[in-house]
């Protein structure tokens, strides 16, 4: 019995000694940290993000920003290492939980007082297996604005087309009923001609804008006498100006020639003069003048009208843009005239500029390449018929 107890005691001592030795050995070994998770981006991913046109942001598993494009910071989506848009953070957390790609729209208010908000098309996707999330935000503000302007343009043009067409139909019925009254027939026939001309100009402007915007080359360019172009444009606007007792005056240097298409240039000048007449008060003047400017010829149209707000001057040459939609409808405008002028100028290798001040009128200047490379006045040759008179 004593021998058995001695054996158990020896075994217990051996086990205790072994445990003590293991504990000492563990204490002497260095403590190892848990394997860290690499939050850095691989060079390939970083290179792709650098060339993306969208605002790109990469979040780590703690919603900290690892990488953000300059556009994302400029729009205010990211500040420091924090994502500022709560909606994007919520999407990122959902994507991190289930690994599914999500899309949506986000509207960010302007960063300055009075500034328009910015609308983004957003796409959020998981990136790797470390809980990283990629956020892409594409600015859609301009696209939405253009779509809205196009819708407004279609509605306005439809209205403008209906007005002369309806008037022509009504006048035709009136003439039919007044067949026995020559004076009434003559009067209504004159109004029909006016409405027909209005319809013709509108359709012609639409065709011209479509052709010019299509980047088609000028079919038969050649020397264009500026004097004849100015007088032709004034003749086409005389009726409209006379209805408001507005005097159209031609001035400046005579005998100048430019290189281009005479009909397109007449159309551009007519639109500038029409615009000046439409936005000028009664009993005023609109002056069209030409002058040499080195290798170019400048043709200016000046009015004494209401002027253009400074904030709108950068956009007035955009197609379909109108400073005052209500007034534009009242004057018959569709927002095409100045767009046509701009595209005609560009097609001729020139430009159009504007000076304006509210309440003091406006001056539009069409700058065109001179025929022969230098703007020189050429003496006008008198025809035998003119000499006889």
Among 163-167, 243-247, 329-333, 352-356, the least confident range: 329-333
Pairing relation of β-strands 257-260 and 82-83? unpaired
Determine the Cα–Cα distance for residues 268 and 261; give it in Å rounded to an integer: 11
First-residue to last-residue Cα distance in the chain = 158
pLDDT in tens, 66-116: 888 888 888 888 888 898 888 889 999 999 998 899 998 888 876 544 456
**pLDDT for residue 26:** 47
Determine the Cα–Cα distance for residues 350 and 344; give it in Å rounded to an integer: 8
Determine phi and psi for 223, rounding to 5 degrees.
Answer: -70, 130
11 vs 149 pLDDT, higher one: 149
Q: Is the pLDDT of residue 224 over 70?
A: yes
**pLDDT for residue 276:** 92
Determine the Cα–Cα distance for residues 140 and 121; give it in Å rounded to an integer: 6
**pLDDT for residue 240:** 86
Q: What confidence category does residue 24 fall into, taking pLDDT thresholds of 50, 70 and 90?
A: very low
Q: Is the pLDDT of residue 148 over 70?
A: yes
Determine the Cα–Cα distance for residues 286 and 228; give it in Å rounded to an integer: 17
Determine the Cα–Cα distance for residues 355 and 345; give it in Å rounded to an integer: 17
**pLDDT for residue 320:** 64
212 vs 369 pLDDT, higher one: 369
Q: What confidence category does residue 42 fall into, taking pLDDT thresholds of 50, 70 and 90?
A: low
Place of tokens 């309806």: 166
pLDDT in tens, 345-383: 988 889 999 999 888 899 999 999 998 877 676 665 544
Q: What confidence category does residue 311 fall into, taking pLDDT thresholds of 50, 70 and 90?
A: confident
Pairing relation of β-strands 55-59 and 65-68? antiparallel
Determine the Cα–Cα distance for residues 376 and 22; give it in Å rounded to an integer: 106
**Average of per-residue pLDDT values in the chain:** 78
pLDDT in tens, 60-74: 989 999 888 888 888
State the alpha helices, DSSP H only, in 34-140.
43-51, 70-74, 86-98
Residue 91: closest CA among 54, 148, 137, 52: 137
Determine the Cα–Cα distance for residues 134 and 122; give it in Å rounded to an integer: 11
Determine the Cα–Cα distance for residues 251 and 254; give it in Å rounded to an integer: 8
Q: Which domains does the chain have, with CATH numbers?
A: 46-140 (3.30.450.20), 217-377 (3.30.565.10)
Among 58-62, 216-220, 344-348, the least confident range: 216-220
Q: Is the pLDDT of residue 388 over 50?
A: no
Q: Is the pLDDT of residue 36 over 50?
A: no
**pLDDT for residue 213:** 66
Collapsing DSSP states into helix, strand and coil, what is residue 106? Answer: strand
**pLDDT for residue 334:** 58
Among 112-126, 172-186, 347-361, the least confident range: 112-126
Residues of the chain with pLDDT > 90: what percent? 28
Across residues 168-193, what is the average pLDDT? 85
**pLDDT for residue 35:** 35
**Most confident option among 9-13, 121-125, 201-205:** 121-125
Across residues 155-180, what is the average pLDDT? 80
* Exposure of 223 in the CB half-sphere (CA atoms within 13 A): 13
Across residues 310-324, what is the average pLDDT? 76
DSSP state of 322: -
Q: Which residues 6+ apart lie within 8 Å of 372 measured at CB?
A: 257
């Amino acid at each position: 019995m004593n021998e058995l107890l001695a054996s158990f005691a020896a075994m217990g001592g051996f086990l205790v000694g072994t445990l003590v030795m293991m504990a000492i050995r563990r204490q002497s070994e260095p403590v190892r940290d848990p394997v860290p998770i690499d939050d850095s981006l691989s060079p390939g991913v970083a290179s792709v993000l650098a060339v993306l046109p969208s605002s790109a942001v990469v979040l780590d598993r703690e919603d900290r920003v690892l990488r953000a494009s300059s556009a994302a910071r400029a729009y205010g989506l990211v500040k420091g290492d924090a994502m500022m848009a709560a909606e994007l953070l919520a999407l990122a957390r959902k994507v991190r939980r289930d690994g599914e790609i999500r899309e949506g729209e986000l509207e960010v208010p302007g960063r300055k007082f009075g500034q328009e908000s910015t609308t983004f098309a957003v796409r959020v996707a998981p990136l790797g297996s470390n809980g990283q999330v990629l956020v892409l935000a594409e600015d859609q503000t301009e696209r939405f604005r253009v779509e809205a302007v196009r819708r407004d343009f279609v509605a306005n043009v439809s209205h403008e087309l209906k007005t002369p067409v309806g008037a022509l139909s009504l006048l035709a019925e009136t003439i039919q009923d007044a067949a026995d009254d020559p004076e009434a027939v003559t009067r209504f026939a004159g109004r029909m001609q006016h409405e027909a001309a209005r319809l013709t100009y509108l359709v012609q402007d639409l065709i011209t804008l479509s052709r010019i915007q299509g980047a088609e080359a000028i079919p038969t360019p050649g020397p264009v006498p500026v004097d004849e172009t100015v007088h032709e444009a004034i003749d086409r606007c005389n009726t409209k100006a006379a209805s408001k007792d507005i005097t159209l005056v031609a001035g400046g240097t005579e005998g100048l020639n430019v290189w281009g298409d005479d009909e397109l240039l007449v159309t551009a000048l007519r639109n500038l003069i029409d615009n000046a007449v439409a936005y000028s008060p009664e009993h005023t003047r609109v002056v069209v003048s030409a002058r040499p400017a080195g290798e170019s010829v400048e043709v200016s149209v000046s009015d004494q009208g209401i002027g253009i707000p400074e904030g709108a001057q950068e956009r007035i040459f955009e197609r379909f843009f109108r400073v005052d939609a209500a007034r534009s409808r009242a004057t018959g405008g569709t927002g095409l005239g100045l767009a046509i002028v701009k595209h005609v100028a560009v097609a001729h290798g020139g430009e159009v500029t504007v000076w304006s001040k509210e309440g003091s009128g406006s001056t539009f200047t069409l700058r065109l390449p001179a025929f022969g490379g230098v703007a020189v006045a050429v003496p006008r040759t008198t025809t035998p018929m003119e000499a006889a008179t």
